[in-house]
Structure 1
Amino acid sequence: MDSQEQYVRYRDDVKVLAAIGECVQAQVGRVAVRLPRAVAEAAVAAWERNEPDGLGEESREQYVLRDQAAELALIGLAVSERGRWEGESVVVGLDVASAGAAVRAVP
């Protein structure tokens, strides 16, 4: 089997995955989650942080780290804009993509 054929199949697989994503997004949109105060506040701090411009060339690992940090910052934005504090936790509606990014970050 030619390895290029394999990648053609993978591209087709991604189209199916995207179609499933459209279905999920239409049905779910946002997911209500409860976060402990410490992680909610850390997410807001990530949103409020100013990062230097002009990163330059990144390794794959650095890109993945920066992408995950950006997902955290978007969760912080959601917490700051629409989070509802209940004692030592916050309840917030997260976009299903942000919730999924958080789950994928679990080792």
Structure 2
Amino acid sequence: MKFWISEGILNDEKLKIMQERADMIKFPSDLGRHPVRIATGDGFSNFTADMWKTFILIFAIPITWSFLGEIDQKILAYFVCACKVLTSRALQKSELDEAFTKLLEMNKLIEKNTDKKK
């Protein structure tokens, strides 16, 4: 998220819209705290690790997707998939391999996307 903010893909106006979208999502409290402070400070002010987990696994795709281009959408999707696997309570080798592959593909897309902007 910070990368997309620094690149200007997400700006103050979009962060406010993201906060409004997040506020409309209803989910059980046992899944974590509802993300607040998305649109404060320089974005995502003082998120804890648990808040980031909840944000990435539940909120990131539905509230951010429409602001991202195709490559950035793929980056986000790979990251969310990897996080879902890596934060699960039970982890099998095949799932670990899947998470590694997703993170590797995400990294390749970031490098490719960054090289295009240079």
| Structures share fold, TM-score greater than 0.5 | no
Q: Which has the larger radius of gyration?
A: 1
TM-score, normalization by structure 2? 0.31
More strand by share: 1
More helix by share: 2
